Structure 1
Amino acid sequence: MFQQDIQLIAFDLDGTLLDSVPDLAVAADQAVQALGFPSVSEVQVRDYVGNGADILIGRALSQNLTIDPSLSDELRGKARELFDDFYQQTGHRLSHLYPTVKETLQELHRAGIKMALVTNKPSKFVPDVLVQHGIADYFVDVIGGDTFAERKPNPMALNWLLEKHQLDAAQMLMVGDSKNDILAAKNAGCASFGLTYGYNHGEPIANSNPDYVADSLAQLLDVVLVSA
């Protein structure tokens, strides 16, 4: 049982609800190769995601978590355009929900807990992904990486949710797989639930000191819902 009366749960998307790396890797690889750069693998891209598409493509061009400062803005912009086009063409066919995700969202919905999506993914890609995987109707708010001037780990999106729903920080929980999610929660003053299976640049999520660490999203039910 959770210590507080949680009324709103904010979820990250990629690496938390959805394993989207297979499609992201295809698009990133096609984009960098189209510009004459070396191929990138799915294994590499798993470490590159989590900070938005601009950072992802910069890392793919650099073949490193640290973006090569010699890459021009023009080149990175062209690579981003190509990436967006190729990613749209994938149709998200290779992406899939993690185990227990849909069942957990259903249980939380039945319990009357509001849910929001707060992702660093570009907004234009989010609605189709949610609809395709049958989870769009669970979220009262959907916030993309370009919805506000700042994205996670900045707490702007979480603060907006608190204000919109007239909640105290103690009444909201952030669920994610990366240090950006945990830091956003800390910066907003709310608790965090970290998942071990997602994308966190190869670093254990426990190192970011979330309030809870879990191997499965289903464990969220034990944290949030009060047993009968």
Structure 2
Amino acid sequence: MIIVNKQVLLFDLDGTLVDSAPDLAAAVNQTLIHFDREPFPETTVRNWVGNGALTLISRGLSGDKNVDPRLSQTLVDDALAVFLDFYEQCVCDKSKLYPNVKDTLLALKAQGYRLGIITNKPEKFVAPMLDGLGLAGIFELILGGDSLAERKPHPLPLFTACKWFEVSADQCVMIGDSKNDILAAKAAKMDSIGLTYGYNYDEDLAIHQPNHLFSDFNELLSVLKDIQEPA
């Protein structure tokens, strides 16, 4: 089914546009070593990505996707600061775009769509990543996980984007790889498209019922057609 009458496409970043797990894992492991803890394989850290830096480093300290409630808040705060410093040094060392991302984004923009990013990554890391991967200038709006009082799966970032673009929720589509993206879209009464290749904690994204679910980014072009000018 073709998605029509949309003006704005909102994209998640990590796991949707960019495979950032190698650099995130490196920064997590440097942090753990700094605190005399054992590092983890990148494959393990991949399953911890998606809920922002605080949750990621808390999972690292816990050694598990489920954060240990016994963790000292002081330790978590100290580790977060160290992690952010390490990550700033390697934010785009080994991260790379998923296949077909850049060409598809440029094609969508050429069709007349306006593009924004809504991510749970701290905002200060987004622009350097986009610059490093050749995506600078494509997105009109960037909202990070610390840009507002709430982050996905809360709908506030999506509502904020609608207000900024001066459109209604039914004129937008949220596109992402995790349940946070789909749940945020549902809470905002916005259509959503899920991507199966990213970071979703080994959970089948289909159970959250996005409007469409694809395994390749360029499949967006098969449903995002026939953009119409607002009345």
- 2:200 paired residue number: 200
Separation in structure 2 between the aligned mates of residue 41 and residue 18 of structure 1, nearest angstrom: 19
- 2:179 paired residue number: 179
Separation in structure 2 between the aligned mates of residue 193 and residue 93 of structure 1, nearest angstrom: 29
- 1:57 paired residue number: 57
Separation in structure 2 between the aligned mates of residue 155 and residue 53 of structure 1, nearest angstrom: 19
Q: Does 1:29 align with 2:35?
A: no
- 1:107 paired residue number: 107
3-state SS of 1:152 partner: coil
Q: Give me the identity figure in percent.
A: 44
After superposing on structure 2, the runs of 4+ consecutive aligned residues of structure 1 that deviate more than 6 Å are none
Separation in structure 2 between the aligned mates of residue 184 and residue 44 of structure 1, nearest angstrom: 26
Partner AA of 1:14 in structure 2:
D
Structure 1: gaps of 5 or more residues: none
Q: How many residues are treated as equivalent by the alignment? A: 227
Kept in 1: contact 2:4–2:226 (CA 8 A) = no
Q: What are the equivalent positions in structure 2 for 1:217-228 lying under 5 Å apart?
A: 217-226=217-226
For structure 1, which segment, 204-213 or 171-180, has the greater mean C-alpha deviation from structure 2 after superposition? 204-213
Deviation at 1:166, TM superposition (A): 2.4
Separation in structure 2 between the aligned mates of residue 7 and residue 204 of structure 1, nearest angstrom: 29
Separation in structure 1 between the aligned mates of residue 211 and residue 95 of structure 2, nearest angstrom: 28
Q: Quickly say closer, same or farther: Cα 1:97–1:3, change in 2 above 3 A.
A: closer
- 1:162 paired residue number: 162
Kept in 2: contact 1:194–1:205 (CA 8 A) = yes
Q: Deviations over 1:105-157 (max 9, x none)?
A: 01011111000000000011111001111112111101000000000001111
Kept in 2: contact 1:18–1:96 (CA 8 A) = yes
- 1:124 paired residue number: 124
Separation in structure 2 between the aligned mates of residue 6 and residue 70 of structure 1, nearest angstrom: 46
Kept in 1: contact 2:18–2:96 (CA 8 A) = yes
- 2:66 paired residue number: 66
Q: TM-score, normalised by structure 2?
A: 0.95
Partner AA of 2:2 in structure 1:
F
- 2:10 paired residue number: 10
3-state SS of 2:44 partner: helix
Q: TM-score, normalised by structure 1?
A: 0.97
Separation in structure 2 between the aligned mates of residue 199 and residue 137 of structure 1, nearest angstrom: 25
Partner AA of 2:50 in structure 1:
G
Q: Deviations over 1:42-98 (max 9, x none)?
A: 111110010000000000111111111111111001111111111112241100000
Kept in 2: contact 1:53–1:122 (CA 8 A) = yes
Deviation at 1:160, TM superposition (A): 1.1
How large is the Cα RMSD of the aligned pairs? 1.2
3-state SS of 1:137 partner: coil
Partner AA of 1:170 in structure 2:
D
Structure 2: gaps of 5 or more residues: none
- 2:212 paired residue number: 212
Separation in structure 1 between the aligned mates of residue 3 and residue 48 of structure 2, nearest angstrom: 35
Separation in structure 1 between the aligned mates of residue 99 and residue 70 of structure 2, nearest angstrom: 41
Separation in structure 2 between the aligned mates of residue 18 and residue 142 of structure 1, nearest angstrom: 15
- 1:85 paired residue number: 85
Kept in 1: contact 2:143–2:157 (CA 8 A) = yes
Kept in 2: contact 1:123–1:145 (CA 8 A) = yes
